[in-house]
Amino acid sequence: MSKKTSYLLGILLTIIIGTLLYCYLCDDCHCFPNGEEVVTEDTNNVAEPEVVPATRNALSISDANGNFNIKINDNFNFKTSNFSILKPISENITSEVVKLKDYLLENPLKDIDITGYYRSDETNNSAYPNLGLARANTVKNYLVSQGVPARQIDTHGALNDTINPDDANTLFGPLKFGIVTLEEDAVDEALEATCDSIRKNPIVLYFKTGAAQINLTAEQRQKIADISRCIDKLGVKVQVVGHTDNTGNADQNMTLGQGRADFAKNYLIRNGILDSNIEASSKGQTDPIADNKTEEGRTKNRRTVITIN
């Protein structure tokens, strides 16, 4: 092969390689036959978040063993991680509650059953075992304020992750209602035993005066729920008694004990137990349960006791 031929082949090879590289590196070029192009994957695309519609439950209450049935689009609404009913409450709800009150008064062997729902990602800031039960008790208090007898209301709480809030974190009607028929002259022996157990083993709180929150154990939360039920079904009152150690003046300690009792009372009121059902008092330093000569004993004496009569 002559030197000139080799030179021409080198030029041709350079052109071919250059053209291939140009087509490979150029995104906007159409160099391949039959419309085929090099497709590059876009790794910068971000998946759009799934939009979950808010759950909107209608207020529906019916009696499978009677002739009562209501259903309206309105309901009791709550913010997430909260058990206070959002205001204002619809006038439609108010008018239907009047019908419910009249029906229950005419049928004393029937109870309305309220189940409050809560999500697993909500924070329970109530005194109850779960946020659903706290919501049910808040609705119960509203019904009582409208004349529905408390003894004819049963409350429950249930986990339900299928209820979804809207963009403003509002839960629309996270509740279920029903009407149950009781047996005549039925005695709830389990409830009476529960109430008697609270009298024997009351809630004892140790906290600093001026604290913003009372931290309850799981057992104490259940006792709060049981106390609420004892009030509704048996008509008992809550007794909140403040105690102190013997440090300082006896009269001042009586006042200090009252302050602790009032603090616990206000906490119970914020959690749905009506003011009229709570009696707060002080025994000051007069009823120690431990030796005031030791710091450990004085700590035990600085207590607030919550029980029922």
Instruction: Express each pLDDT in 155-210 by its tens digit.
Output: 999 999 999 999 999 999 999 999 999 988 777 899 999 999 999 999 999 976 55
> Which amino acid is present at 308?
I
Query: Contacts for 88-97 with beta carbons within 8 Å, 24 or more apart?
Result: 89/142, 93/59, 94/146, 96/59, 96/61, 96/70, 96/72, 97/142, 97/143, 97/146, 97/148
Q: Tell which residue, 228, 171, 167, has the closest CA to residue 195.
A: 228
Which pTM does this prediction carry? Answer: 0.81
Q: 63: which residues sit within 8 A by CB, 6+ positions away?
A: 69, 103, 110, 179, 181
| pLDDT tens sequence across 246-295 | 999 999 999 999 999 999 999 999 999 999 999 999 999 999 999 999 99
Position 91 confidence tier, pLDDT thresholds 50, 70, 90:
very high
Q: Tell which residue, 151, 143, 128, has the closest CA to residue 236.
A: 151
**H/E stretch holding 60:** strand 59-62
Q: Average the pLDDT over 27-44 and give the result.
A: 54
Cβ atoms of 118 and 160 within 8 Å: the answer is yes
Task: State yes or no: pLDDT of 7 exceeds 90.
Answer: no
Q: 211: which residues sit within 8 A by CB, 6+ positions away?
A: 263
Cβ atoms of 70 and 97 within 8 Å: the answer is no
Rounded Cα–Cα distance for residues 154 and 90 (Å): 23
> Residues of the chain with pLDDT > 90: what percent?
77
Cβ atoms of 61 and 112 within 8 Å: the answer is yes
**Domains with residue ranges and CATH for the chain:** 59-181 (3.30.1330), 189-308 (3.30.1330.60)
Q: What is residue 214's predicted lDDT score, i.e. its pLDDT?
A: 82
Average pLDDT over the chain, rounded to whole?
89
The number of residues in the chain equals 309
Position 2 confidence tier, pLDDT thresholds 50, 70, 90:
low
**42-46, 67-71, 108-112, 123-127: segment of lowest average pLDDT:** 42-46
> Which amino acid is present at 174?
P
Q: Average the pLDDT over 101-120 and give the result.
A: 97
